[in-house]
Amino acid sequence: MNLVLLLSIFNLFVGVFSKEAFRPSVVNVGAMFSFSTINGKVAKVAMKAAENDINSDPSILGGKKLSIVLHDSNFSSFLGIIGALHFMETDTVAIIGPQSSMMAHVLSHLANELHVPLLSFTALDPGLSPLQFPFFVQTAPNDEFQMLAIAEMISYFGWAEVIAVFSDDDQNRNGIITLDDELAERRSRISYKAVLPPDPTATSSDVRRELTKIQMMESRVIVLHTFSKTGLLVFEVAKSLGMMGKGYVWIASTWLSTVLDSTSPLKPETANSVRGALTLRLHTPDSKRKRDFFSHWDQLSNGSIGFNSYALYAYDTVWMIAHAVKLLLDQGGNISFSNDARITNAGGKDLNLSALSIFDGGRQLLKNIIDTNMTGLTGPVRFNRDRSLINPSYDVINVVKSGYRQIGFWSNHSGLSIVPPETFYGKKPNRSSSNQHLDSVVWPGGGTTRPRGWVFPNNGRQLRIGVPNRVSFRDFVSVVNGTDKEQGYCIDVFLAAIKLMPYAVPYRFIPFGDGHKNPNYYELVSKIESGVFDGAVGDIAIVTDRTRIVDFTQPYIESGLVVVAPVKKISSSPWSFARPFTPFMWAVTAAFFLIVGSVVWILEHRINDEFRGPPRQQIVTILTFSFSTMFFSHRENTVSTLGRLVLIIWLFVVLIINSSYTASLTSILTVQQLSSPIKGIDSLISSSERIGFQVGSFARNYLIQELNIPSSRLIPLGSPQEYAEALEKRTVAAIVDERPYVDLFLSDHCEFSVRGQEFTKRSWGFAFPRDSPLAMDMSTAILALSENGELQKIRDRWLSRSACSSESEDEPEEIDLKSFWGLFLICGIVCILALLVYFLSMFRQFSRHCPEEPDSTSRDRSCSERLRTCLSFVDKKVEKSQSSSKGKGESMSPNGYHKENVCTYR
């Protein structure tokens, strides 16, 4: 029993000893930077401060010491690789660095094999994917977010084109690629990419060569994405070339904010060269820990370097490793390393690769780092699913004469704002354009007005403006015979707009076309896309297939397709009065006059003396009463309730019919009547007639593609003379063309007219390359011409020739029964109901006052005798009762009339 107990104690002692053997007293962490750079100096101070704070708290690593071993790569990739190999030979659990993304791409492969996490807060290349490099962790916001912030700034200020200047290395190159993608989503673009040698190898001549090219370009918005040495050199050369003056916009990435923060005050020449630029700075929320750290910075650095945001990220990165190591040990993990046979065998005799070992707990340590959830000097530190830090944000900085001023913030949560982004984190994300705000900016040159961002290039080249060389409708645009001068309505509008441009625009017109027929306008527009022309001026319709390849200005004239056809004037005739109604309408109306007259006669006959008399007189009464209601001049009065009801309804119907007849007849007698089988585009489509169109116009494609008219029906015509000849000879039934051309054509040819309405809505505009700022500025000028009335004056000068009206004058249609059948239906129903009520009342009175005889003799009387008696009863005059004459032997009707006894059978 004692032996077993002793063995157990021995095994426990051995286990504890073995476990402690894998818990070294010192945890080695490597750090690789170029310590002569601003960020290298700052990182060195911050990491050592974090090391001291961690080692001063025994609860962090349980008495173990954290040792940060520094290696200066001194801008050398080779020295960086040597340093990384050295760290991995000396049982290093993690490496902070490298400083550049190029080295990160190389060393990440080594980290993947040896399971040593690489953590960097400066190698922020968007191309460092965690899928490809799982052991590489970016502990500061990726440059993807910085490029997104710059793109939103460009969109906020309304610039369409920018120029990118960047160093030719992985981080800067991939950052510009990301910026280009973000700008494309906002309908902007990078018009030129100026590539410089990698930092710090760029020379003044390299920079001057690229900036000289940029000077000759249109865009004045320049994004500078590089590092501090090259960046300051670019600003220095730009200042000497006059590119830091009015009209220019410079947006620098975070490198400039590190220079401003860490080298304050700047040298006077440096301060002058960057004045007016915008830059970004990594945003960290305010906290007591941050303020305390900042207050001790001079003591920590001995005044060797100024404080910047990367110091906070360096400090937090060390703490992330310390917490991850502590968690690894608490999870029962070991800091142990083992050899890999693949590495040992690959070394041969000369390479001592056997010294490299795999960190056994590397995967668990990496997981602990990714699962970090702490509050550091930079604020909450957590990673998203894509391994980017939560809530990336930046300060927006404007360099001014006295230093710099913060004009706002940007965050992935709320976009641009003048309020710190952490105030929005509890709310729903909202990055809509209406919520984007920044304070005022002092731009290069000292102005506060937002630069246009684009100027006409000062390279001595004139704009090549394509102009259609028309052979017809030359009032719009034409080449003056024997000269190179262009004239016409479109030319005058362009020249007037050019005068209102805020800058000089040198140009020259280049005729397009052979001068024998009108050119194809789609080909003209295509020349802009291919770079043959810098723009096109003329009667160019804005249609869908053209807007896909060029940008158009604001329209300067409305234009739509219309149908022109021959017309014949209809002369008046003695029977014009009958034209308002169709024959069927006349017949139904006349029938209803007779029907209503007969119904009123039936309802009034027994009680109204005006509706009694000999049969011939009663027929005349019915006719005169019926048709006199047309003019509301009937002399006969109605006394029964049912008769008055029928008459009121009928008079209402007569009122509506009279009004419609009068209006239609007035139109027929006063409006010029034109006769043509073509009533508009619908009747033209349904026919099989041939259709003329203008050569070069978009009308042909529209008729074929949109209206499905066979091309065999379409006849090309080249001039107004051909229009007239084709219509007169009936070569075509109609012509489809744009309204401005038609107006000019009809001013000289009154025998034709527009039929129907415009069936498309189009406009004319000037064409320029896609995303050309010139299109926007020309649009502003055209709007100004419209507002001051100059546009109308130009139109009146060229296009006002109103010899005859071109308005469509369609023949008024005859009024059919379908417009009034409801009224006739109501009137008919009222008549039927009135007759039904009347006959039911008569039958009831007849039955009461003329009962059948009870004797057999009466039962044998014929039905014909009783029918004659009933008709006699209905036809019998009923005298109106007097209040004093009601006596024995008389009976009273419900209407107050006496009825004589007529029930004696004969």
Give 581-624 pLDDT, tens digit per residue.
778 888 887 888 788 878 877 777 677 666 666 777 777 777 77
- Residue pair 219/162 in contact (Cβ under 8 Å)? The answer is yes
* Confidence at 882, pLDDT banded by 50, 70, 90: very low
Work out the burial of residue 552: count CB atoms within 10 Å of its CB; fewer than 13 is exposed, 13-18 middle, 19 or more buried: buried
Band the pLDDT of 353: cuts 50, 70, 90: low
Of 87, 75, 76, nearest to 119 (Cα)? 87
Q: Measured between alpha carbons, how far is 690 from 715 in angstroms, rounded to an integer?
A: 7
Tell the residue number behind the tokens 């000077």, with chain if given.
215
Q: How distant is the alpha carbon of residue 878 from its chain centre?
A: 83
The mean per-residue pLDDT over the stretch 811-827 comes to: 72
Element (H, E) at 408: strand 403-411
Q: Give the pLDDT confidence score for residue 898 in this predicted structure.
A: 45
Would you say residue 430 has pLDDT above 50? Answer: yes
What are the pLDDT digits (tens) for 243-280? 999 999 999 999 999 999 998 788 899 999 999 999 99
pLDDT band at 8 (very low <50, low <70, confident <90, very high): very low
The average confidence (pLDDT) of the chain is 83
Q: What percent of the chain has pLDDT over 70?
A: 82
40-59: b or e for each residue (b if 16 or more CB lie within 10 Å)?
bbbbbbbbbbbbebbbeeee
The phi and psi torsions of 717 (rounded to 5 degrees) equal -130, 145
Torsions phi, psi of 315, nearest 5?
A: -60, -50
Question: What are the E-state strand segments in 56-138?
Answer: 65-72, 94-96, 118-120, 136-138
Ramachandran angles phi, psi of 354, nearest 5°:
-65, -20
d(CA 539, CA 699): 14
Q: Is residue 892 over pLDDT 70?
A: no
Quickly tell me which residue has 């090259």 as its tokens: 230
CA nearest to 318, candidates 238, 244, 378? 378
Contact 128, 144 (CB under 8 A): no
* pLDDT tops 90 at residue 193: yes
User: In this model, does residue 2 exceed pLDDT 50?
Assistant: no
Report the range of poorest mean pLDDT among 56-60, 392-396, 397-401, 844-848: 844-848
Query: Average pLDDT, stretch 334-353?
Result: 62
| Cα angle: 27, vertex 29, 34; to 5 degrees | 160
357 and 338 Cβ atoms separated by less than 8 Å? yes
Using CA atoms, how far apart are residues 98 and 105, in angstroms rounded to an integer?
Answer: 10
Alpha-carbon distance of 308 to 257, in angstroms, equals 8
Residue for token pair 């040819």? 749
Based on C-alpha coordinates, what's the Rg of the chain? 49
pLDDT in tens, 212-233: 999 988 899 999 999 999 999 9
Q: What is 141-178 written as a DSSP string?
A: --HHHHHHHHHHHHHHHT--EEEEEEESSHHHHHHHHH
Is residue 136 within 8 Å of residue 111, measured between CB atoms? yes
What value does the mean pLDDT take over residues 75-82?
A: 82
Q: What is the distance in angstroms between the CA of the first residue and the CA of the last residue of the chain?
A: 152
Q: Encode pLDDT of 589-598 as tens digits.
A: 788 878 887 8
Q: How far apart are CA 66 and CA 60, in angstroms?
A: 10
Q: pLDDT tens digits for 520-553?
A: 999 999 999 999 999 999 999 999 889 999 999 9
| Residue 670: predicted pLDDT | 58
Residue 124's pLDDT is 93
Q: Residue 598: what pLDDT?
A: 81
What local confidence, expressed as pLDDT, does residue 523 receive? 93
pLDDT of the residue at 5: 38
pTM of the model: 0.66
Contact 322/54 with Cβ under 8 angstroms?
Answer: yes
Whether residue 86 is predicted with pLDDT greater than 90 in this model: the reply is no
Report pLDDT digits (tens) over 669-681: 655 455 567 888 8
CA distances from 315 to 289, 329, 389, 394 (A): 12, 22, 16, 19
Determine which of 166-180, 734-748, 802-816 has the lowest per-residue pLDDT on average. Answer: 802-816
Surface-to-core class of residue 165, CB atoms within 10 Å of its CB (0-12 exposed, 13-18 middle, 19+ buried) = buried
User: Are the C-beta atoms of residues 642 and 532 closer than 8 Å to each other?
Assistant: no
**Considering only CA atoms, which of 364, 342, 363 is closest in space to residue 353?**
342
Distance CA 33, CA 73 (A): 6
Q: Are 148 and 182 in contact (CB under 8 A)?
A: yes
> Burial of 296 by CB count in 10 Å (0-12 exposed, 13-18 middle, 19+ buried)?
exposed
Q: Are 307 and 42 in contact (CB under 8 A)?
A: yes
- What single string gives the DSSP state of each residue in 192-237? EEEEEPSTT---HHHHHHHHHHHHTSSB-EEEEES-HHHHHHHHHH
| Structure confidence by residue, pLDDT tens digits, 831-848 | 888 888 877 887 777 677
Question: Tokens standing for 825?
Answer: 């239906």
**Which pLDDT band holds residue 803 (cuts at 50, 70, 90)?**
low
Are 165 and 227 spatial neighbours (Cβ–Cβ below 8 Å)? no
DSSP character for 520? P
- Torsions phi, psi of 451, nearest 5? -65, 150
Q: What is the mean pLDDT of residues 656-666?
A: 77
Beta partners for 552? 767
Q: Cis (ω within 30 of 0) for the bond into 574?
A: no
Q: How much of the chain is in helix, strand and coil states, percent to nearest 5?
A: 45, 15, 40
Residue corresponding to tokens 């040896």: 114
Mean pLDDT of 476-482: 84
Round to whole Å and give the CA distance between 207 and 211.
6
Distance set, CA 603 to CA 472, 496, 599, 846, 878 (Å): 75, 81, 6, 16, 13
What number of other Cβ atoms are within 10 A of residue 873's Cβ?
18
CA angle, 128 as apex, 127 and 130 as ends, to 5°? 125
The alpha carbon dihedral of 159, 161, 166, 170 has a sign of: positive
Q: How far apart are CA 660 and CA 580, in angstroms?
A: 8
Rounded Cα distance between 816 and 818, Å, is: 5
Q: List CB contacts of 181: < 8 A, sequence separation 6 or more.
A: none
d(CA 421, CA 436): 12
